[in-house]
């Protein structure tokens, strides 16, 4: 399975399989497509240890310890932005996200990576947030108990 270069002038590649998954799962929504591409193009660590797009200027004096967060690779970011615009322009039935929406998708991806979720889990509606962190007394138990204690015989 070959890899697909997103835009000719950027060294950013995903596999054909990833591309198919992204397009088929995006329901013609440029934001969803971008979410998938971010997940394929950046590693979780890249997202987690970045300061997103580096838009919010944080004062150096904030006294934060730990490794300095760097913005996400601007080449990859620009490539994805351009790619989404190009894709939505050449496929008019796709929803074209605004600049703000595009930025939000990036910052959401960073936020999710920091929370230790696989970046992909927020794509599914509910349910999968708890993958792999099975708490004792899972939600099903609570739900079932509520059902049994409900009124009526």
Q: Tell me which residue has tokens 């591409």.
A: 37
The backbone torsions φ and ψ at residue 60, rounded to the nearest 5 degrees and listed phi first, read -70, -25
DSSP β-bridge partners for residue 100: none
pLDDT of residue 137: 43
pLDDT tops 50 at residue 143 = no
Q: How many CB atoms lie within 10 A of CB 1?
A: 9
C-alpha–C-alpha distance, residues 90 and 88, integer Å: 6
pLDDT of residue 107: 95
C-alpha–C-alpha distance, residues 18 and 14, integer Å: 6
C-alpha–C-alpha distance, residues 25 and 23, integer Å: 6
Query: With bands split at pLDDT 50, 70 and 90, how would you rate the model's confidence at 69?
Result: confident
């Amino acid at each position: 399975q070959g890899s697909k270069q997103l835009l000719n002038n950027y060294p950013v590649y995903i596999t054909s399989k990833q591309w198919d998954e992204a397009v088929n799962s995006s329901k013609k929504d440029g934001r969803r497509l971008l979410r998938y591409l971010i997940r394929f193009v950046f590693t979780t660590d890249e997202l987690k240890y970045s300061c997103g797009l580096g838009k919010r200027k944080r004062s150096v004096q904030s006294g934060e310890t730990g490794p300095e967060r760097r913005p996400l690779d601007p080449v990859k970011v620009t490539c994805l932005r351009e790619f989404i615009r190009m894709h939505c322009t050449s496929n008019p039935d796709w929803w074209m996200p605004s600049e703000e929406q595009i930025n939000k998708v990036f910052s959401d991806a960073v936020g999710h990576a920091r929370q230790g979720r696989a970046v992909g889990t927020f794509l599914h509606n509910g349910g999968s947030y708890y993958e792999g962190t099975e708490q004792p007394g899972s939600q099903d138990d609570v739900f079932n108990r509520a059902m049994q204690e409900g009124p009526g015989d």
